[in-house]
Structure 1
Amino acid sequence: LLFTIVMSQVLPARGKFKEICERPNGSCQEFCLETEVHAGQCLNGLTCCLPVGNEPFIEPTTPKER
């Protein structure tokens, strides 16, 4: 009985969970479409795809020449 109670507390609830990929409007799927770019991996192991033009801007890490 105690084992059942403990496991019910530990196991995640079933159903969909929000993926980090959904910001701003990405989606988790097996493959990205031609109009999408690969932006990492979702928590459920699928590919995170973002529509072209919605890629996050990343500052360059190389120092500028003086």
Structure 2
Amino acid sequence: MKVRSSVKVMCDGCSVVRRKGRVYVVCSKNPKHKQVLLEIPLHWRRISPPHRDKVNGILTRST
């Protein structure tokens, strides 16, 4: 099974299925086409909160 950030239907035997909150692609013709959508939890994403620039007072987001 391939774990991907976006799943795609590869042939006419593939079908998209939702199970337990996840998105799967299952294929009846070629088992190598099996995929699962990897959803990254929000706390794993390192997005910093916006902060105000001291000089201009503009909201910015540091990376």
Scaled to the shorter chain, the TM-score interval is: under 0.3
- Structure 1 or 2: larger helix share? 1
Q: What is the TM-score when the length of structure 1 is the normalising length?
A: 0.23
Larger strand percent: 2
Structure number with bigger Rg: 2
